[in-house]
Amino acid sequence: MASTQLADAGATVGTDPIIEVKNLTMRFSSKRSETVALDDVSLSVAAGEFVTIAGPSGCGKSTLLKIIAGLTLATDGDVRLYGQQVTSPQRQIGFAFQRSALLEWRGVRKNILLQAEMRGMDRRRAEQRADELIELTGLTGFEKALPHELSGGMQQRVALCRALLHEPRVLLMDEPFGALDALTREHMNIEMNRIWRETGTTIVLVTHSVPEAVYLGSRIVVMSPRPGRIVETLTPGLPEERDYGATLTDPRFTRAAERIRDLLGATHTPD
């Protein structure tokens, strides 16, 4: 696995790894065949990093996140969270899925507080935290709105609040903005950069979008088509606070985006 330092790093992060993935392999077997989804993947994520994982469809990005979260067990290899081997679902992790999966009969605040009910959190603290997150994500005034009354971007904000309610030190995000229109996705990218800076949460996000991977990532991991392997890790060196328009024209952004596209093009195989 290659590592490319495109510029001096802008973000300040911890040096001790929170997430450690070593020699990870994942095979799915059936009576007819065996599919290798991930092959010998090794990755570490330090405290405070925003790591984005870019790669083509079917390369195992989502599977990797589920293994880190303990939702799926790998065939071979080792996964550790805070030095402890991951062998079951990790309650201290926040997970934002591709779909918001909100309960249609519950308003914004009650959808967020569902997390507290499932975890048995202190109700008073959970309600206070929910109100803080509603304000942080610009949902003030929509506390009682039902999901069908919200735009797609607002629904994803509610899902993000729910994932952050228990104040996880690690947030895993599986293509959470993939179904949004381009303008809403841009707004959500800006929002995520701000939330990352203001909360200090360690974030790992998988995406098909090269601009999203570069704009959000303090490091970008590029994966090959199935079986998924890490072909290169890039550090673009952009500052933590990123104006969207200025960042997209920054030479560091351009170099990183071009390098990722080259890697994905070089590793592309016909369907």
Full 3-state SS string of the chain: CEEEECCCCCCCCCCCEEEEEEEEEEEEECCCCEEEEEEEEEEEEECCCEEEEECCCCCCHHHHHHHHCCCCCCCEEEEEECCEECCCCCCCEEEECCCCCCCCCCCHHHHHHHHHHHHCCCHHHHHHHHHHHHHHCCCCCCCCCCHHHCCHHHHHHHHHHHHHCCCCCEEEEECCCCCCCHHHHHHHHHHHHHHHHHHCCEEEEEECCHHHHHHHCCEEEEECCCCECEEEEEECCCCCCCCHHHHHCCHHHHHHHHHHHHHHHHCCCCC
| Rounded Cα–Cα distance for residues 128 and 148 (Å) | 25
- The per-residue pLDDT for 153 is 87
Residue 232 near residue 263, CB atoms below 8 Å: yes
63 is a domain residue: yes
Per-residue pLDDT tens for 94-125? Answer: 898 888 889 999 999 999 999 899 888 999 99
Q: For 172-219, write each residue's pLDDT tens digit.
A: 999 888 877 888 888 889 988 998 998 899 999 999 899 999 999 999
pTM value is 0.86
Same domain, 31 and 163: no
Picking from 122, 147, 167, the residue at the C-terminal end of a domain is 167
Do 43 and 126 fall within a single domain? no
For residues 176 and 163, state if they share a domain. Answer: no
Instruction: Specify the CATH number for the domain of residue 221.
Output: 3.40.50.300
What confidence category does residue 14 fall into, taking pLDDT thresholds of 50, 70 and 90?
low
Task: For residue range 19-30, list pLDDT tens digits in order.
Answer: 999 999 999 887
Within a domain: 229: yes
The answer on 205 and 155 residing in a single domain is no
Question: Residue 15 domain-assigned?
Answer: yes
Please indicate, yes or no, if residue 212 is contained in any of the structural domains.
yes
Q: Which of 167, 186, 221 is the last residue of a domain?
A: 167
| In a shared domain, residues 16 and 138 | no
On whether the CB atoms of residues 76 and 24 are closer than 8 A, the answer is: yes
Residue 156: which domain range?
101-167
238 and 181 in one domain?
yes
Q: Is residue 252 part of a domain?
A: yes
Domain for residue 271, yes or no?
no
pLDDT > 90: percent of the chain: 62
Query: Which of 128, 242, 238, 144 shows the shortest CA–CA distance to 192?
Result: 242
- Render pLDDT for 149-174 as a digit per residue (tens, 0 to 9): 998 889 988 998 998 898 888 999 99
Boundary-marking domain end, from 130, 148, 167: 167
- Rounded Cα distance between 192 and 189, Å, is 5
For residues 191 and 87, membership in a common domain is answered with: yes
31, 45: one domain: yes
Name the domain count of the chain: 2
